[in-house]
Amino acid sequence: MTERPLTAMIDPAAGPPDCAAYGRAGGWRGARAALRDMTPDAVIDVVTRSTLRGRGGAGFGTGQKWSFVPKEPAATRRKYLIANADEMEPGTFKDRLLMEGNPLQLIEGMIVAGYAIQAGHGVIFLRGEYHVALDRLTRAIADARATGWLGADILGSGFGFDIHVHTSGGRYICGEETALLTALEGKRAQPRSKPPFPQVGGLWGAPSVVNNVETLCNVPHIVANGAEWFRALGLGPDGGTKLYGISGRVRRPGTWELPMGTPLREIIEQHAGGMRDGYALRALLPGGASTAFLDAGQVDVAMEYGAVEKAGSRLGTGQAILLDDRTCPIGMLHNLEHFFAQESCGWCTPCRDGLPWVERLLAAIEDGSGAPEDLDRLADHARLLGPMGRTFCAHAPGAMAPLASGLRLFRADFEAHIHQRGCPLRQAA
């Protein structure tokens, strides 16, 4: 098996494989091993020992999450497995690569995960703008049904499982798992209070597990090759590979599958080709828009959960957004906070009212009407909205991560905007 298990069968020029080609390339090994030779608990155990953590941003242990689901067989209790393919985090595009390039890998991962938690129903909650992914997933699901990989009594195991695709109405909050479940039920996408957690009372009150696309795509390879194999792929305490992405003024923006723990400098300089001529790296968001800024002096950090947290941010989705020395950091922050403000579900007051206030303050500073005391107001918002537990979900804390770190790293830029009545870079241009 290749050391690039997620992207090994992805050939953009040839298109995704059908079931037969997928099998010839090594696919279905994990599903066969699970359904023919393993109990559901054994599948959960090997995934737990592999140290696979959620690749959607939270980094929760996948096997541990599955272990919370009640143990009744699929035939006697309704349960659901949901693939979170909403992927609306700014700067993140890894799941689209997997679904467009090899949708059967996701389907196989869902079959194995469904068997592990004994769920008979699978749903792919897909971002509405992913039209190519929708077409390819729909075709792959039909092919899997026609060849016996979906439906009743798969491989004569007595386990039945089927999948359908649900396209999102287009709200960022649907990436939060309980808001996703509420949207699936046909209601306004708003987070739910916990407990009960989805693993006990989720979709229509039934036990449900929500996993990210990249997370599920790892599962068949772990079952087929073993926990030790997966752990050995990583360079540090976190096992496996990771899809890392770079956007910004680099020579080759994109996404690459690399060992978990690959240094950020290697991703930027070797894989993304370094900064374009005439641009220098100033700072970056290492894991998407809802992570804290790291400065250019921190590019040697290993891209793994613990190391990035120690550096003062989060690994998040592993998709870094780079800020260069010719882009205004205040303008970048204003753009981010505009997104977060318009994507608030409006359920709790600090997020509903606080984020638009932050956006207005940043807009005033950017257009030259800001005042020195605005910096104190922004710092108050970062302090009050940032910690987890003060809002109904993690939306506002995620929005405050770039703001709080930006106030620290770009203080001189904020002050220059206020004293010069506008953006110095724009005035110079």
| Helices H / strands E in the chain, number of each | 18, 9
Domain match, 190 and 105 both: yes
pLDDT score, position 75: 74
The runs of H, that is alpha helices, within 188-298 are 213-225, 227-233, 264-266
Domain match, 318 and 356 both: no
- The CATH number covering residue 333 comes to 1.20.1440.230
Domain match, 229 and 246 both: no
Distance, in Å, from the CA atom of 370 to the CA atom of 330, rounded to the nearest integer, reads 12
Name the more confident of 354 and 2.
354
Distance, in Å, from the CA atom of 190 to the CA atom of 57, rounded to the nearest integer, reads 19
- The CATH number covering residue 58 comes to 3.40.50.11540
Domain match, 219 and 267 both: no
pLDDT in tens, 81-106: 999 999 999 999 999 999 999 999 99
Domain match, 44 and 126 both: yes
Domain match, 114 and 173 both: yes
Question: Does an H or E element contain 281, and which?
Answer: strand 281-285
Residue 353 has pLDDT above 60, yes or no: yes
Domain match, 252 and 207 both: no
295 in any annotated domain: yes
Domain match, 86 and 129 both: yes
Q: Which of 328, 391, 392, 388 is nearest to 363 (CA)?
A: 328
Query: What is the tally of structural domains in the chain?
Result: 3
pLDDT in tens, 376-427: 999 999 999 988 888 889 999 999 999 999 999 999 999 999 999 988 888 7
The residue range of the domain holding 424 is 329-428
Phi then psi for residue 127, to 5 deg, are -55, 135
Question: Does an H or E element contain 401, and which?
Answer: helix 395-409
Lowest mean pLDDT among 81-85, 140-144, 279-283, 364-368: 364-368
Q: Domain boundary at 324, 350, 375, which?
A: 324
pLDDT score, position 74: 76
Domain match, 337 and 404 both: yes
Q: At 268, which amino acid appears?
A: I
Residue 243 has pLDDT above 80, yes or no: yes
398 in any annotated domain: yes
Cross-strand partners of 165: 124
- The CATH number covering residue 255 comes to 3.10.20.600
Question: Does an H or E element contain 26, and which?
Answer: none
Domain match, 265 and 333 both: no
Q: For residue 221, name the pLDDT band (cuts at 50, 70, 90).
A: very high
13 in any annotated domain: no
111 in any annotated domain: yes
Residue 48 has pLDDT above 90, yes or no: yes
Q: Domain boundary at 300, 324, 348, which?
A: 324
Tokens representing 82?
């949901």
pLDDT score, position 314: 96
Q: By percentage, how much of the chain surpasses pLDDT 90?
A: 87
Tell me the Cα Rg of the chain. 22
Domain match, 352 and 423 both: yes
Q: Which of 394, 357, 352, 351 is nearest to 379 (CA)?
A: 357
Please tell me the pTM assigned to this model.
0.94
6 in any annotated domain: no
CB 107 within 8 A of CB 144: yes
Domain match, 223 and 81 both: yes
Classify strands 281-285 and 162-167 as parallel, antiparallel or unpaired.
unpaired
26 in any annotated domain: yes
pLDDT in tens, 114-124: 999 999 999 99
Q: Domain boundary at 233, 257, 281, which?
A: 233
Question: Does an H or E element contain 255, and which?
Answer: strand 254-259
